[in-house]
Amino acid sequence: MTRIKAVLILFSISTILAFSISKDVHINTEATNLKRDSTAVQKYYARNKGNNQPSMSIGTTGNGTLENAKLIPFSGKNFEYFDSGSYLMGRAYTNDKVLRTVLTTYQDLDSVMPNRKFYIMEASKQFGGKLWPHRTHQNGLSIDFMMPMLKDNKPYYGFTKLGVQHYQLHFNDNGTSEDDESIKIDFNTIAMHILLLNRQAKKQRMKVSKVIIKIEYKPYLFATEYGKLLKKSGIYVVQSLTPAVNQLHDEHFHIDFSPL
């Protein structure tokens, strides 16, 4: 792991574990061990899932706010939020159109990959604004998704329960784990996921406006069956990133949505 990434991640973890967003839920170092059916998680979702009014994403992903936010469900049939501590800290809010896009995409993925599980990472705060250490995620139109993995060409979930420590994982420039060469990023499934997100977004009069992924991964992404379709789709995949930001996107990919 690079020194820059290690410092950013360790500070992020300590920040998340040190504070609480709710009077009723106090976050501590045991929070990341809460199970998907945790009473605390269930109560938090019931209290904070949002009203029935349309969301308003104001400003930009890098300088904005969010009104009438909707809380992403902690888990569903084939998906789960990656960390209960982050969830209870209020870092899983989004625009209502984005939420519908994400949930219907998981339904699509369940149809084509019925035994596969997927993991959502951080989105936005309830009222938007800065979500340290992210540079964007400010107006409910940004979401991070955990990279799907393969081990010996079979779905692998060994890293999915690390919580915020997932950000400490490091993969080389061809998407192979530096700790185990048999574990690789599933680029074809990533490309399929992005294409399905864009298809469902259009039904909400939205689109995938930007994909952020480690630059060195792009040839491997575009070489896959669905990656070839992604390359032809017109969906913007970043052309360049600063070294620090690039290194931070080796174990997750970032999606920005925008209105059509």
Mean pLDDT of 40-55: 94
Reported as a pLDDT band with limits 50, 70 and 90, residue 243 is: confident
Reported as a pLDDT band with limits 50, 70 and 90, residue 239 is: very high
SS3 228: helix
Q: Are the beta carbons of 72 and 81 closer than 8 angstroms?
A: yes
Closest-CA residue to 92 (of 75, 106, 116, 115): 75
pLDDT digits (tens, 9 = 90+) for 154-200: 999 988 887 666 766 788 999 999 889 999 999 999 999 999 999 99
Task: Return the pLDDT at 37.
Answer: 52
Q: What is the CATH number of domain 3-259?
A: 3.30.1380.10
- Specify which residues 63 forms β-bridges with: 60
Torsion of CA 19, 9, 143, 225, to 10 degrees: -160
Query: Cα–Cα distance between 236 and 165 in angstroms, integer?
Result: 29
Q: Among all chains, which residue has been given the structure tokens 């945790």?
A: 38
